């Protein structure tokens, strides 16, 4: 039987060797380390030495904790009582979270929900959203669009400008063989979030980066969640919350997560986008304003042949007859709607479409104008 290396097969690193003795490797990676150790007796001996170090640690400190200590026992009892009180209060909150998950959960396997329900994490909603987006879109590759390649920084730049006033660029993962292939804005519990999909020439499996607004501006460590084959890291840094998901080995995904974090934190601001929203709009209008680049990009790029479809940021084609929620609707380019109207896809859409020769404007502004007239 021929052994075909996986697309992500990488040289065995120091980290892998330690992960091996600490039980941190996936089954596949463990098998690879097994093979490596069989071929490298010197490394195997070194690992054995680490193993015996660990055993000695237990011999040295593992057994006794010293004699009884009354002060410590009494403090432990106090802490126990305090924790039980706390837990009662917490149980109510957990019920609320479970209700929320059940109420909003739709297309994702229940395993993901269970996982997050257990996690009780404050990123719960954000990460669930990211996972759903990954699961939904990862197997559904969009038609490649030249337009998508023109301004690959656009969506993140727009989002970061809106959230923080400081535009940043999308992380560049080309050094790891990943190309940015899709970018779009999706609704998330904390407002709009950027979804960036990266694809590798070496692999069928894309990875998805989700960037939204940090809830409390507090940086956190990388938190790891595994659901079947899907690995997810999420964390907060600066003004943003991130979630990186992919069918990758944990260590591989971590490397990418650290790279993303390093780039987004260290990056100097880039010049403002070419197309700017007019100043002085209300907060709600801003929330529904289309990302300027997507706007500009798609107007020129989508031919009338798009027919009864709208084209979202990265070129994902969706039927117009789908019910789009507010935020998604906000980024549908007006020019892309027009063919849909011609095809007789609903009067409401037609009423909102801009007249020929008029600069396309966001739906919210048109609605506002309608109400006043």
Enumerate binding residues for other proteins (CB under 8 A). Answer: 14-15, 17-19, 22, 24, 46, 49-50, 53-54, 56-62, 65-66, 69, 71-72, 75-76, 78-80, 82-87, 89-90, 93, 119-122, 221-224, 254, 258
Other Cβ atoms less than 10 A from the Cβ of 107: the count is 7
Q: Which is nearer to other proteins, 27 or 107 (CB)?
A: 27
* Alpha-carbon distances of 261 from 29, 166, 170, rounded to whole Å: 25, 16, 11
Q: How far is the CB of 191 from other proteins (least distance, A)?
A: 22
Q: Which is nearer to other proteins, 75 or 304 (CB)?
A: 75
Q: How far is the CB of 251 from other proteins (least distance, A)?
A: 9
Q: How far is the CB of 313 from other proteins (least distance, A)?
A: 31
Q: Which is nearer to other proteins, 251 or 316 (CB)?
A: 251
Q: How far is the CB of 261 from other proteins (least distance, A)?
A: 8
CB of 335 closer than 8 Å to CB of 360: yes
Q: What are phi and psi of 35, to 5 degrees?
A: -60, -40
List all residues 6 or more positions away from 267 whose beta carbon is below 8 Å from its beta carbon: 168, 169
Q: Which is nearer to other proteins, 4 or 84 (CB)?
A: 84
Q: Which is nearer to other proteins, 118 or 323 (CB)?
A: 118
Q: How far is the CB of 263 from other proteins (least distance, A)?
A: 15
Q: Which is nearer to other proteins, 107 or 221 (CB)?
A: 221
Nearest C-alpha neighbor of 249 from the set 6, 2, 4, 3: 6
Other Cβ atoms less than 10 A from the Cβ of 4: the count is 7
Report how far residue 126's alpha carbon sits from residue 216's, in angstroms, rounded to the nearest whole number: 13
Among the residues of 230-319, which ranges form H helices? Answer: 250-266, 283-288, 292-301
Nearest C-alpha neighbor of 264 from the set 160, 158, 117: 160
* Alpha-carbon distances of 206 from 108, 142, 181, 266, 325, rounded to whole Å: 18, 12, 9, 25, 25
Q: How far is the CB of 54 from other proteins (least distance, A)?
A: 4
């Amino acid at each position: 039987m021929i052994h075909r290396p996986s697309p992500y097969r990488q040289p065995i690193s120091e980290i892998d060797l330690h992960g091996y003795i600490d039980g941190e490797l996936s089954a596949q990676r463990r098998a690879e380390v097994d093979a490596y150790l069989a071929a490298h007796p010197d490394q195997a001996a070194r690992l054995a030495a680490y193993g015996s170090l660990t055993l000695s640690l237990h011999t040295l400190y593992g057994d006794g904790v010293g004699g009884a200590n009354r002060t410590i026992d009494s403090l432990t009892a106090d802490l126990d009582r305090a924790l039980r009180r706390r837990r009662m209060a917490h149980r109510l909150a957990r019920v609320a979270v479970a209700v929320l998950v059940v109420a909003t959960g739709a297309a994702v396997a229940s395993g993901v929900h269970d996982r997050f329900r257990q996690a009780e994490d404050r990123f719960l909603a954000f990460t669930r959203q990211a996972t759903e987006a990954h699961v939904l879109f990862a197997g559904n590759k969009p038609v490649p669009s030249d337009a998508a390649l023109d301004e690959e920084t656009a969506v993140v730049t727009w989002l970061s400008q809106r959230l923080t006033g400081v535009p940043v660029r999308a992380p560049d993962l080309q050094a790891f063989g990943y190309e940015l292939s899709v970018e779009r804005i999706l609704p998330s519990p904390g407002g709009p979030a950027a979804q960036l999909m990266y694809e590798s020439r070496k692999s069928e499996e894309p990875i998805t980066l989700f960037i939204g607004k940090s809830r409390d501006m507090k940086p956190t460590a990388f938190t790891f969640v595994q659901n079947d084959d899907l690995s997810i890291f999420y964390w907060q840094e600066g003004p943003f919350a991130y979630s990186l998901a992919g069918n990758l080995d944990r260590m591989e995904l971590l490397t990418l997560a650290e790279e993303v974090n390093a780039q987004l934190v260290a990056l100097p601001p880039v010049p403002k986008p070419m197309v700017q929203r007019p100043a002085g709009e209300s907060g709600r209008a801003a929330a529904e304003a289309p990302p300027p680049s997507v706007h500009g990009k798609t107007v020129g790029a989508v031919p009338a042949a798009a027919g009864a479809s709208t084209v979202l940021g990265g070129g994902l084609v969706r039927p117009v007859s789908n019910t789009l929620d507010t935020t998604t609707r906000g980024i549908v380019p007006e020019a892309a709607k027009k063919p849909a109207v011609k095809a007789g896809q609903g009067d409401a859409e037609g009423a909102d479409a801009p007249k020929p020769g008029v600069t396309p404007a966001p739906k919210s502004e048109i609605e506002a104008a309608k109400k006043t007239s």
